[in-house]
Structure 1
Amino acid sequence: MFNIENYEIFEIVNLGALIIGIIFGAIAQNTQFCFNGAIKDYILISSTKRGASIITAMITAIIATHFLTVLTDIDLTETVWLRDEINYFAIILGGCLFGIGMMIADGCSSRHLVKFSQGDGNSMVTLLFIAIFAYASTKGILNHFVYSLISNETLLNISSYIENERTNIYVVLSFLFLVWFYLTKSFKRVTSLKDGLMIGLLIAFSWYLTGVYGAQSLELDTRYVPFTSITFVGPTAKTLEFFTHYKTMNLNFGISIIIGVLIGAFSMSRIDTKYNMGCASNIKVNKLKNSMLGGALMGVGGVLSIGCTVGQGLTGFSTLAFASIVAILSIFVSGSLMGLYMKSKNKLPMCFIFEWEDEKKK
């Protein structure tokens, strides 16, 4: 019988992360929750369904995380997203690289975990290139260039004029609700957005797991649990490192999330098989080349921007960090522009149609 007292804090956190990842993967596979897909849907068929789910997740993550800070003693300023010395030039460049890369590869890091679990071989290539280039940017051949850019004194001094503080929650939520109303258009559609609600809650629960329960690791002098939530680029690189240089103590929250997403998405794809056929688009593109190039751009971009569409767009955004807002806007604008360019060249694939239920009936 499972007895929680027989396990150390970090082991329980890793188990919790695995469960969170399984739930995230199952939801994302079942509804095809996707930031990149939301942009494509709007560009190609003016559909706002997946976009509304993304905004719902953002709103839920912000509100739930806010209440968590009120009810507990966690301090979000201790996270990497609210650190003092922020290089906004690196954040913007990284966001642009990531946005362009996710459109070229037809999906961001979390999306390709789901697509790989569904049986898409090209997604495996994308994930490998994300991992390789993220690792190269943090510990490998690209580290000198990336570190030199991030730590450039001139850029840091210019960036210091705008402090990376928590943005007013009421201003942020007011803007997001306006966008939400524009995308949803009808309260009858709210029930279709439960995927965004659940994923937003997973962000807040992850904060609790690492920031409240995991904080006991310092008091009990056990293995340290980093204060973080769901993100994918860095953990994808660490997962590759974990499987190639295995050490029992290397398993952590981020790696457990990745493994969980793969398990959850794969399991759900066995139950709901309608997306397992791969992309149904007739557009001819070099998928292998796009997977390699897009993955490489996302790997480097994710490191520079301190996160991906989930790492910055949901986790970072939930802290209300100004840098996270800059990052996700950079990803959104660059991804949208790249999507429009690819559409003009007839190279933007629409794999499946995602519309509101009332629109389908029409």
Structure 2
Amino acid sequence: MPQLELVPWAGLAIGVVFGVCGQITGFCLHRGLREYWSGRAGYKLHAYALALAVALAGTHVAASLGLADITKSMYMTPSFSWLLLPVGGLMFGYGMGLSNGCGARALILLGQGNLRSFVVLVCLGISAYITLTGIAAPLRVLISDFTTFSPTSIAVPQGLPRSLTVWILVAALTLFALRPRESGQRATDLTGGAIIGLLVAAGWLVTGWLGADDFEPTPVASLTFVGPIGDTLHYAMIATGMSLRFGITVVLGVLVGSFLAAVLRGRYRIEGFESAGQMSRYIAGGALMGAGGALALGCSIGQGLTGLSTLAYSSMVSAFAIVVGARLAWAGSSGSIMTASPTVQST
């Protein structure tokens, strides 16, 4: 089997592991932030910090050894919009708050039977395509043309400054992750975070090394979900006109892994909406995440882990804006059904 044909299969394997891990541990940035802001005990945010530490270290090692040229990734483009990145991040973060989780979390919940997540994913994928290539694309391009600039440095410089930055951040994130809290599934959550961090590094290796080809190279990328969810919906409709790419097989793998883990653990059950208001909120959340993720060039995984693992300044802007957007949604939800309903909280 030609080497390039292994790329989608490797993406499927990465997705399956992500789905199993996410279903067992409940890995999710939004859950971690909400837990932390509410003052509740637990290790969800610590797990995310450890995932970022492992992703940073793994990506740096892979790039240093020449196994993945991350400078060819979309995060390292020489110019970006100073307006669209933060606005998109705010939109994604706010939408993540409305729908109680990001696109990756929605995939995991759908795999265990949560039909609310199906609505979120459809809205997210359609909204992302509307923004990237649909009726909103000309406006996006117009705004981008007027707000794009080329900074003198697009990421932390190579060499000693980069290595020092990586290992200082890895140490700081690891220390935060290992800080004890009152209670929570510490070993489970932290193990899940470490595995997902390794999957980010594995994604770079699959596309950057396994997918390397002089004539038909695979785009250098790793875990991200907004564009690939849209691509998966597109592929489902016109499979004969599209190739089965790395991102699509990752999405399919997450669904398969989550489903298998849920069934084997006796956690699979069909769930739907409890009210029209809840459905409206999830639809809005999915649409905001799709459009926002398209503008911000990623999601809480795509920018928050994969993008930050490259130390690109644009990823820092997007990730920070995502957290701010989530905070605004959390603050606005005080006393609302989103915080009051135990069923919704569990998602």
Q: Do they fold alike, i.e. is TM over 0.5?
A: yes
Consecutive unaligned residues of structure 1, counting only runs of 5 or more, are 1-6, 355-362
2:65 to 68, 71, 74: 71
State whether residues 78 and 151 of structure 2, in contact with CA within 8 Å, keep that contact through their aligned partners in structure 1. no
Letter aligned with residue 34 of structure 1: C
Deviations 1:110-145 (A, max 9, x none): 010011111111111110010001011111111112
1:236 to 229, 232, 241: 229
**Against the structure 1 CA distance between its residues 192 and 116, is the aligned structure 2 distance closer, same or farther, given a 3 Å change threshold?**
closer
State whether residues 11 and 253 of structure 2, in contact with CA within 8 Å, keep that contact through their aligned partners in structure 1. yes
Query: How big is the shift at 1:265?
Result: 0.5
Alpha-carbon distance between aligned partners in 1 of 2:296 and 2:127, rounded to the nearest angstrom? 14
2:202 is the counterpart of 1:205: yes
Partner of 1:164 in structure 2?
A: 154
2:192 is the counterpart of 1:195: yes
Question: What pairs with 1:206-225 in structure 2 (closer than 5 Å)?
Answer: 206-215=203-212, 217-218=213-214, 221=215, 223-225=216-218
Consecutive unaligned residues of structure 2, counting only runs of 5 or more, are 157-161
Partner of 2:250 in structure 1?
A: 257
Partner of 1:314 in structure 2?
A: 305
Question: What pairs with 1:39-58 in structure 2 (closer than 5 Å)?
Answer: 39-58=33-52
State whether residues 43 and 340 of structure 1, in contact with CA within 8 Å, keep that contact through their aligned partners in structure 2. no
Query: How big is the shift at 1:71?
Result: 2.3
Query: How big is the shift at 1:173?
Result: 3.1
Query: How big is the shift at 1:45?
Result: 4.9
Partner of 2:97 in structure 1?
A: 103
Partner of 2:83 in structure 1?
A: 89
Partner of 1:34 in structure 2?
A: 28
Alpha-carbon distance between aligned partners in 2 of 1:275 and 1:34, rounded to the nearest angstrom? 19
Query: How big is the shift at 1:146?
Result: 1.6
**Against the structure 1 CA distance between its residues 125 and 162, is the aligned structure 2 distance closer, same or farther, given a 3 Å change threshold?**
farther
Partner of 1:341 in structure 2?
A: 332
Residues 176-185 or 31-40, more deviating? 176-185
State whether residues 44 and 350 of structure 1, in contact with CA within 8 Å, keep that contact through their aligned partners in structure 2. no
Query: How big is the shift at 1:255?
Result: 0.3
Residues 331-340 or 71-80, more deviating? 71-80
Query: How big is the shift at 1:336?
Result: 1.6
**Against the structure 1 CA distance between its residues 162 and 115, is the aligned structure 2 distance closer, same or farther, given a 3 Å change threshold?**
farther
2:124 is the counterpart of 1:130: yes
TM-score (norm 2): 0.89
- Aligned CA RMSD, in angstroms, stands at 2.5
Alpha-carbon distance between aligned partners in 1 of 2:268 and 2:190, rounded to the nearest angstrom? 19
Identity of aligned residues (%): 31
Alpha-carbon distance between aligned partners in 2 of 1:84 and 1:32, rounded to the nearest angstrom? 36
2:138 to 126, 133, 144: 144
Query: How big is the shift at 1:264?
Result: 0.4
Work out the number of aligned pairs and report it. Answer: 337
Deviations 1:51-107 (A, max 9, x none): 111111000000111111222353211110111111132110010000000110111
TM-score (norm 1): 0.86
Alpha-carbon distance between aligned partners in 2 of 1:142 and 1:183, rounded to the nearest angstrom? 47
Q: Secondary structure at the match of 1:347?
A: helix
**Against the structure 1 CA distance between its residues 252 and 104, is the aligned structure 2 distance closer, same or farther, given a 3 Å change threshold?**
same
Query: How big is the shift at 1:351?
Result: 4.3
Q: Secondary structure at the match of 1:151?
A: helix
Alpha-carbon distance between aligned partners in 2 of 1:45 and 1:244, rounded to the nearest angstrom? 45
Alpha-carbon distance between aligned partners in 2 of 1:285 and 1:175, rounded to the nearest angstrom? 44
Q: Secondary structure at the match of 2:68?
A: coil
Query: How big is the shift at 1:175?
Result: 4.4
State whether residues 36 and 335 of structure 1, in contact with CA within 8 Å, keep that contact through their aligned partners in structure 2. yes
State whether residues 86 and 164 of structure 1, in contact with CA within 8 Å, keep that contact through their aligned partners in structure 2. no
2:322 is the counterpart of 1:331: yes
Alpha-carbon distance between aligned partners in 2 of 1:103 and 1:211, rounded to the nearest angstrom? 33
Alpha-carbon distance between aligned partners in 2 of 1:49 and 1:277, rounded to the nearest angstrom? 27
State whether residues 214 and 225 of structure 1, in contact with CA within 8 Å, keep that contact through their aligned partners in structure 2. yes
Alpha-carbon distance between aligned partners in 1 of 2:262 and 2:120, rounded to the nearest angstrom? 20
Letter aligned with residue 237 of structure 1: G
State whether residues 115 and 270 of structure 2, in contact with CA within 8 Å, keep that contact through their aligned partners in structure 1. no
